[in-house]
Structure 1
Amino acid sequence: MASVVSFHHYICHLDLSSLPRVVKIYSGVYFQGSVYEVSGSECCLSTGDLIKIVDVQLQNITCKNVNDGHTFELPLNFKGLFEPSQDPPHRKPKKLFPSANSLSRASYKQKLYTLQEILQSEALWQKRLKCAEIGSSEFEIYPVYKVEAIMHYRNDVVKINSMLDVEVIDITEESQHIHFIKPLMLSQVLTMDKVLPVEAEVLGAPVSPPVFQSDWMSYLYKGCRIHIHNQASSWKILATSRKSKGHTGHFLISSNYKGRFRQCPRQFSSTSELVPALATTKKLQVVVTKDYESSDDDFPLLSIGDRLELQTLVRARSPSATDTLVCYRDNGDEDKELIHLPLFLEAGFVEDVRDKRKYTLAEAVEHLRLPCEVKLVSGDGAFDVLSTVSVLTLEAQIKEDFFTASLANEPGLTFEIPPKWLDISLFFTGRPVRATPPSNIPSVEELTESFYYDLLKQLPNNAAAPPRPPKRMNSTLEKRHQKTTEGKTAGETFKRQFSTSQNSRFLGPKSRSASHLPLINPNEYTIEYRPEKLQTPTIPCKPTAFHDDSDHDYEEINEEVKGIVHKMGRASIKH
C-alpha cells in the first residue's frame, strides 16, 4: 500500500512520465475538510476527495539562506552553478582543528550543477548548496509547482499549488474503474459536435421558475437519467385561449401539430383600434355593434348593423383638424356611401369574416397575419390538450432550439426541452443510447402563467402603437374659458375681501356677527372675528389671473379712501 505523504512531497517526487495519477485527500488542516483558493475561486478539499493529476509545471523556486533564514525567489532561467555541500543537513559542531579526512575532503574538487540538474535529482536538491553567484553562504532550495488536475463536479481543469497543506495517498492502481464527472449545462451541449444521442444524469433541479405545466417536469430532479436524442428543428406558435370561467390558458404549439383551424372575427371598441388592424390586412370589413350619434355635423351617424369597408387613414393637415378613417358604408342594392370617421369615435365593431376555409397551423401562419383569433375545428388525436379549447389567439411565432429527450427508465415518456429556458446541470454517463429517436413527441405544451409573461418580454414588439386621439377643439375652448372665469372670480373675491376687512376695522367686533357675513365661495378666505382683539386684515398674494388697470396700492391706504370707508360704515350702522 502506498504511504501517506504531503502533497508537496508527492509532487516533487512524481515521475511526470507516469501521468495521469489519481490521489485521495487523506487529511488536511481542518478535521472535516479544507477550503483553499483554486484557480481564483474557493475549493473545498474534504477528506476522501479524489484528484486526478494530469500535468505538473514548475512555477517558482524559493531559496533560503541557512545562516540567517532569509528567503528569496530564484528566476526559472537562473544560469548560476551550484556545488552540493558535503556536510549533512543537520551538521555537527565544528572542531577547532581539522582532521586529515577533513583536509582531504576540502582539497577534493566538487562537480558543479545547473539549476535544472539540481531539480531533476532528488538527492541533490535536498542537500545544502553553494553558489558563488548568490553568495558565500549555504542555501536550501524549495521548488513550487503548479498542478493541473481534474476533480469531481468541476467544469474546468483546476490549478493547484503544490504547497497545498494537505496529505495525499496514491490510489492510481485501485481507481481504474472510477469515472470523473465533468458537469455541463444543457446549453453547452448545443455547441458540441457529434455527441448526440447521449445519456446524461441530472445533477440539480432547475433553479428557474417552472416553464411547462407538464408531468415530465417533475422528473427533472438530481439523479434522474435522461436520453438526449437530437436537436429539434421545428418552430413553435405562442397561443392563448379565450377566457372561460376566469381561466386563461397559454400554450406552445409545435409546427408538427395536425389540428385544423378556422378564422374568427375580431372585435373592436373604437375607430382607433381599427387603424392597426387595417395595416395588417388588404381588406377589412366590419359591422357596427353600437350606435353612435355625433354632435358634429361633419361626421355621420352610425347604427347597429351598418356594414363598413375600411379604405385608408387620412392624416389631418392642421393641428385643429382631426385624423379620419375613409370608409364605404353599404346601404344595400349596391349603394355605397363614402364617409369619414374620426379616430376618437367610441363605437363597437366586429370583423365581417366570410372565410370558411380550414387552415393547418402552417397555413394559418402564412395566410393570417399574427396575432389573429382562430377556432379549433379538429384536434390532433385523443390526447390533444387543445381539445377543450374553442377559440385561440395565435400571438407570435417562436424559433428556439429544443432537444428531443426521454427518460432512461421510461422510454415512452418523451418531451422537448428548451436549453435557453430550462438550463439544467448534468453530466454524460457514457452509457449507450438507442439510435432511433422517439416519434410520440407531444405537439402542445401548456405554459405557466409566470413564464408566459416573461416570454412576452423577450419577444420583439413589431406592432405599431395605436394613434393617439386628437384633442377636441370645443374642450380646449371650454378649458380656456374656465381659466378666464376663475381669474376674474379670484380678482373680484380679492376686492370684496379687502373691502370687508376694512369695514370690520371701523365697525368694531359687535357691529355684525360673523354668521351674518355673506360667504361668496367656500374655498375663499374668510375673516374670523375675535372679541378680545381687533384682527388686522392680511393682504393675500395677488392672483396671477387678476388684472387691474388702476394704480392703487392696497398696502398703503390714503386719507381719502379712509374717509369713504368710514362713511360706508356709518351708513350700514344706521340701517
Structure 2
Amino acid sequence: MASTLEKFIHSLDLRALPRVLQIQSGIYGQGSVYETFGNECSLSTEEVIKVIGFKINKLIASICENNEVSQFSAKVELPLNFPGLYKVVADKTPYVSIEEIATKVSIGPTRFGHPRFYSAEDIKLANFTIKHDEQITFTSVEEVHGTMAVNCVVVRNNRPHSFTLPLSQEGEFYECEDDQIYTLKEIAEWKIPKCRNRIVKLSNSLHMRGSSSPLPENFDGCLILMPVYEVQAVMKFRKDIVHILSDLDVEVKDVTDCYDISSFLQPFSLEDIFERTSKEFPMVVEIMEGPSGSQKPYNLLSTGKEIVIYKKYQAARVLASEMRSDSCKRRYLIPMNYKGKFKRRPREFPTAYDLEIARSEKEHLHVVATKAFTSPHKELFSVSVGDQFLVQQRQTSEVLYEGRKKLVDVLACEQILSDSYKKVLLPMYMEGGFVEVIHDKKQYHLSEICKEFHLPFNVKVSVRDLSIEKDVLAAAPGLQFEEEITDSYLLISSASSPVESWEIPVYRLNMLVHLLNKDVQTVEPPATRTTVEEVSEEEYYMLRRYENLTLHPPPRPPKKPTAPPPTFAVPKEGVSDVLHAPKNFYIDTTKKLFLDQAADVLELQVSCQNDLVHREINDMTEKATLVETTATEGLARNYEAEEKEEEEHDYTYIDENIIENIRKVFHDTSIRNEYTLSKGRRDI
C-alpha cells in the first residue's frame, strides 16, 4: 500500500531497517536522482531505493505560551547547530504500552539513550514489584527467551535493581522530568519521540557568530519542535549515499519482502564496525561518505578512498584547556602516546577543600594565600594575604559554636614562618584563595603526570612532540589538564600506502563505509602517529558534563556558619559569573574574575608590579609579568610567568622576597583604603 514518504518515516521503526522502497508517484524529474542545495530532491517513478537510516535534518520551532502554540505565533526554522542549551519539558500524554515507548522513543547504548518513565499503577513481576511513580530507566531493547523486551533499572537506597519488561506490557506510562540540559543536536538525535512534538525551554543562550538569531530578542520561553527528517538511501548503480528530505512530495511503497536486498551495497557506520568481533579485524573498507577536513588523518577519509581497519579498542585521552583569560581559549584531547614533555605551572585553589583534593603523599603541597580569611572560631587559624602553608591532611577538630562544643572538618597545615614552622588548622569551608609554589623543575611525559598527580593540573610544553608536523600544544601559553576521557577508537591506515597508522574516534566522527573482499597484506599495523584533537567549546562542555555521571561526586565542603565572619576592609564590587552559570554546566574554577577597584588601589598594584618585573632565578635572567587578578573578597595574585624560550625552558618560581612583598602590599593597601574611605566620609 502506497503512502507519503513523510508518513512512512514517521511510522518506521529504526530496528526494521534496512527497507526497500519503490517510488509510486510524486513531483519528480526525468532520470534518476539529481541534487539541489546538497540534498537529493527528485526521484523517478518505479525507482527502487534501499533506506538504510534516517535522521532529523532540521527543526521547525513554534514559540508557545503555557506549553501551547498560539495561533499568532510564527514558525522559525532552526538548524541542528543552532547555539543554546535547552531543558526538555516532560510529555504529559501517556504511553499505553512498553511497545509504544520502544517504538517511539530512542533507546540506545549511550547516556542520552536512557529515557526515564514512571507507571501510574504498580507493576508486579515474578519476583519484583515496581511501585507507581517510581522512576524506571530504559537501557536497551533485546530478545529475551524468544520475546522482545526492554532492559530496565530502578534505583532504591542508592542501589540499582535490573529487570526486564516485555513489549506486551500494558499500562499508563508517563515521561519523567529531566533536569539535564542539551544542545538542539542532542535533542534531535535522542529526545524527540516519533509522531510527537517536543517542547523545550531555553536554559542558556550561546553567542551566535556571524548571523542574527531567528528567535525574539531576550527570548527565554518555550519552543515546540517539529522535526524534518533526512532519509539516507542506497541506489542500485551508485556507490555513494543519497539524501532525501522527508517532506518531499513523493509516494512510496514498501517492497522489502519481495526484493533481493543483497543486490544493494551495504553501508556501515563506524559504530557498526566497532560492534563487530575482534576476529573480523583487520578489514579493508571503501569510504562511501567521509568527514570533512584537510589535516591528517581526515584527508585519508575522503569519499571513494580505501582504508585498512586493523583493530578496535578503548583508549584514554586527557582533556586539556589553554590557560588564558580571554574568550579564545582552545580545548584539546591529548593521546597518551604524545611524545612531548611538560613542566609544571602553579595551580590555583579557591578553597581549603580544593587543597585537600590536590594534596599528594609524594610531596608537600606548598601554597601562598592570595585572599584573607578571618575564622569565626578562635580554635581555627585566620589567614592573611601572603601567608605560606605546607598542606598536611584532613582531620576533625572541636570548636565552640553558639556556646556548644562541635566537631568540624579542618585541614591541618604547617605555616611557614621566617625561621620556623607553626601548626595551624584551616576550616574546610574556608572560601579563601591559594596559589601553588613550584619547587619541581623536572620534565614529565603525559603518562607520568596522570600517574603521579591529581587532575586538574597546570603545565606548559617544554619539549614539543617532533613526530607532529605542527604541535599546537607547544604554542599554548599554558595548559590545564582537566580529566581523563576514555573513548572508543579504530586504528586505520591507507590501503594503498600503509606507512603509518592513525586512531580515529568512533562516536565523534560521522562516516559510512562498505566492506571489500580484499586480503590485508600486513596484519600488523605500521607505527601509530600522534593526533592531538581540538574540540569545540560545545563539545568540551558535553565531554565534561557526561564523562563521569556514573561516578559519585566528591562531597561538598560544609556551609559557613549562619553568622558571617568579619573580613578585611577591601572594596567588594561585582559578582562572579560563576554564580550565574547553568545548574548542570561545568564551571572552570580557575577563571579569573576582573572586578573594578578603586583608582588608588590600582595605582599601588601597578607600582608593585613594576618592582617585581625583573628577578634573578637560578643564575638565569627571566622576564616575568605579574598578572592582575582579584577574588570576590579582595586582591588576589596570579603568578603566571611568560618566560623567554631558553634552552632548558625554565620557569619563574615564587621566592620568599616576592611573598613578603605581597604581604606588605596588601597591608599598605588596606591602610590606604581605610584612610581613603574615612577621608571620603569626612568630606561628605
Instruction: Tell me the TM-score range normalised by the shorter chain.
Output: 0.3 to 0.5
Larger Rg computed on CA atoms: 1
Q: Which has the higher helix share?
A: 1
**TM-score w.r.t. structure 1 length?**
0.47
